Chain A
Amino acid sequence: MTADILAFVRVLADAGVEYVVVGGVAANIHGALRTTVDLDIAYSRSSANITRLAKALAPYEPYLRGAPPGLPFRWDEATIQRGLNFTLTMTLGDLDLLGEVTGGGRYEDLIGRAEPIEIEGRRCWVVTLPTLIVLKRAAGRSKDHEAIAELEALLEERDRR
C-alpha cells in the first residue's frame, strides 16, 4: 500500500519522534525521480522515543507486512523493544522502521549525516545525498544500480549549480 508520506511526517513530527528518513523517500526529497511505495526511517532506540513511536503509530493499526492475518502481533513498546527492524503496513500505508541500517548503523550514527528539511511545516531529518549513496552501495543489491546511478548524477548536477 502506498504510504501517505506527508501524513507520516505530520504524525511523527507532532509526536516528537526522533527519526531520520532514509531510502527511496530520502532520494525523492533530494530530487531523484524514482518512485517508491513505502517510507523508510531509522528511529532512535531510546526508551522515551520507543514510547513516543508506539503511541504515535498505534491509531494507524500497524501490522507486519506480508504476514498472514490473525497473528498475535501487538503494536506496543514491548514489541518494539524486543525487535529492531520492522516492515509494517498500516492505514497510512507501508512503513519500514529501522533500528539499524546496513552500512549506516543506528539513528545515533545517522543523525550526524542528516540534514533538516522542512516538510508540512515541520522539521524533518533526512540523510544527506552522499550518505544515501553510501547506504545504497552498502546494501549491495543489483536492483539498486540504476538508483545509485541516478543519485550520483543528481549529486553531480547539484554540485554544478
Chain B
Amino acid sequence: MDRQRTTDDIVLEPDPVIEAYKKDVDRTLLRENLKLTPQQRLEKLVAFMRALEQLRGAASKRR
C-alpha cells in the first residue's frame, strides 16, 4: 500500500477501503482497454449503452 505520486503532482494517500476493492478489479480488461484510443473507448461505451437500451426496451415490451 504505497503512497502513489502521480505525473501531475497529486499525491494519492492509500485508502484501505479502496485497496480492498482494488483486489477485485479485473486488470486484464483494463489492459485491453488501454490499447484502444480514447475515441475507440467512447465508441465502445456508446455502442454498449445503445445495445443495453434496446434490450431493456425489448424486455419491457414483453412484460
Binding site for B on A (CB under 8 A): 2, 4-6, 25, 28-33, 35-37, 113, 117-120, 126, 128-131, 133-134, 137, 145-146, 148-150, 152-159, 161
Contact = CB atoms under 8 A, between A and B. Distances in A.
Contact of B34 (A2, A131, A148, A157): A157
Interface of B: 4, 6-8, 10, 12, 15, 17-19, 21-22, 24-25, 27, 29-31, 33-34, 36, 38-39, 41-43, 45-46, 48-50, 52-53
Contact of B50 (A2, A120, A126): A2
Given A130-B6, A157-B34, A28 B42 contact: yes
B10 A134 contact: yes
A152 B18 CA distance: 9
Given A35-B45, A37-B49, A155-B12, 16 more contacts: A2-B50, A2-B52, A4-B46, A6-B42, A6-B43, A28-B45, A29-B38, A31-B30, A31-B34, A119-B38, A128-B8, A130-B10, A145-B18, A145-B21, A148-B15, A153-B27
A120 B38 CA distance: 10
The dominant DSSP class at the B interface is helix
Which 9 A-B pairs rank lowest in CB-CB distance, beginning with the nearest? Answer: A149-B21, A130-B6, A130-B10, A153-B25, A149-B22, A2-B49, A29-B38, A31-B33, A117-B38
A133 B21 CA distance: 14
The dominant DSSP class at the A interface is helix
B10 A131 contact: yes
A150 B27 CA distance: 9
Chain B CB within 10 Å — which of A4, A152, A156 has the most?
A152
A149 B24 contact: yes
A86 to B, nearest CB: 22
Contacts of B41: 28-29, 31
Contact of B30 (A36, A120, A134, A157): A157
A111 to B, nearest CB: 13
